[in-house]
Structure 1
Amino acid sequence: MDCIFCDIVAGRRESHRVHEDEDVVAFLDARPLFPGHTLVVPRAHHETLTDLPAADVGPFFTRVRRITAAVEAGMEAAGSFVAENNRVSQSVPHLHVHVVPRNRKDGLRGFFWPRSRYGSEEEAAAVAARVRAALPD
């Protein structure tokens, strides 16, 4: 398997690390939206969030939370944008969470894709029912 993030985790590829422990590595994105844009990855290779074992989700996001606070404080940001893609728009097939420092009028406009409303309350209720029915046990 050839994975850029596994290479970073193993120290075979250079990165600007901001945190590492037994479970995660956090490093600056090589193509940041803004200075301080950090990626948080699990040491173990999991392609997507849905591949991460359930027991690891809480500990992983506890670290994401900690890194988010550090990015905001370290970059003197008013807030942050925290995002994760599964397959679509996922540039590297290794679970990673983007932590991007944000400030008012920084040029980013909400989400990067068009948004719309449901046609009716009935349509929204039907969509919610489909998602509920697909919830794993």
Structure 2
Amino acid sequence: MTTDDCPFCAIVRSESPAIRIHEDEHTLAFLDIRPVSRGHTLVIPKRHSPNLEALPVDDGARVFAVAQRIALAMRRGPVAADGVHLVVNDGRAAMQTVFHAHMHVVPRHRGDKVSLAAGLATRRRHDPQQTGADVRAGLEPGREGEK
């Protein structure tokens, strides 16, 4: 896959739609179009790397730092997650389907084992505009020290 046919590169170039959660010079975070749970967000480096082997260490560190911020936002904001999965699928055998390195930030709630299993099977969108606003709300300044 090249940057020309990479769906995540198309999102970076604003050629494909996405509910953007966070963006800076090096990274972009947006809602997964097939979420496992409400608020499921992907964090990508803007520079194309098809997998972990090709991912420059500095881009990986930036992706992780943004994923950590998004995870905290999911706990502190309206998503009200009790926990968060940070997941990287690297290669076909690990169920990677888009070959642009990325990290999934999946909010979890106490007792959601059954709904998480259903979410893995169905992966349905949850009012993406409101969900995006709810995840971004936790990123607002002033929430850094809140619990």
State TM-score, norm by structure 2: 0.70
Q: Could you tell me which of 53, 72, 77 is aligned with 2:81? A: 77
Decide which of 46, 51, 55 is 2:54's aligned counterpart: 51
Q: Report if aligned partners of 2:27, 2:62 keep a CA contact under 8 Å in 1.
A: no
Percent identical: 44
Q: Decide which of 93, 101, 105 is 1:99's aligned counterpart.
A: 105
**CA RMSD, Structure 1 to Structure 2 (Å):** 1.5
Which range moves more in the overlay, 28-37 or 60-69? 60-69
* Deviation per residue, 1:2-35 (Å, 9 max, x gap): 0000000110000000000001000000011111
Name the counterpart of 1:39: 42
For residue 102 of structure 2, what is the amino acid of its counterpart? H
- Structure 2: state its 5+ residue gaps: 121-147
Instruction: After superposing the two structures, state which structure 1 stretch, 77-86 or 46-55, moved more.
Output: 46-55
Amino acid at match of 1:96: H
8 Å contact from structure 1 (residues 71, 100) kept in 2? no
Flag as ranges the 4+ runs of structure 1 deviating above 3 A.
none
Per-residue CA distance 1:58-87 (angstroms, 9 max, x = gap): 222111211111123231010111100111
Pairing 1:98-137 to 2, within 5 Å after superposition: 98-106=104-112, 107=114, 108=116
Q: 1:23 aligns with which of 22, 26, 31?
A: 26
**Which protein, 1 or 2, shows the higher relative CO under an 8 Å CA cutoff with sep ≥ 6?**
2
What amino acid maps onto 1:50 in structure 2? E
> Which structure has the bigger radius of gyration?
1
Structure 1: where are the runs of 5+ without partners?
Answer: 113-137
Shifted more, 38-47 versus 100-109: the winner is: 100-109
Corresponding residue pairs, total: 110
Match of 1:13 in 2: 16
Q: Supply the AA of the counterpart residue of 2:100.
A: H
Other structure's SS at 1:50 match: coil
Aligned to 2:138: none
- Is the 2:42–2:102 Cα contact (8 Å) retained in structure 1? yes
| 2:7 is equivalent to residue 4 of structure 1 | yes
Contact 2:49–2:55 under 8 Å retained in 1 = yes
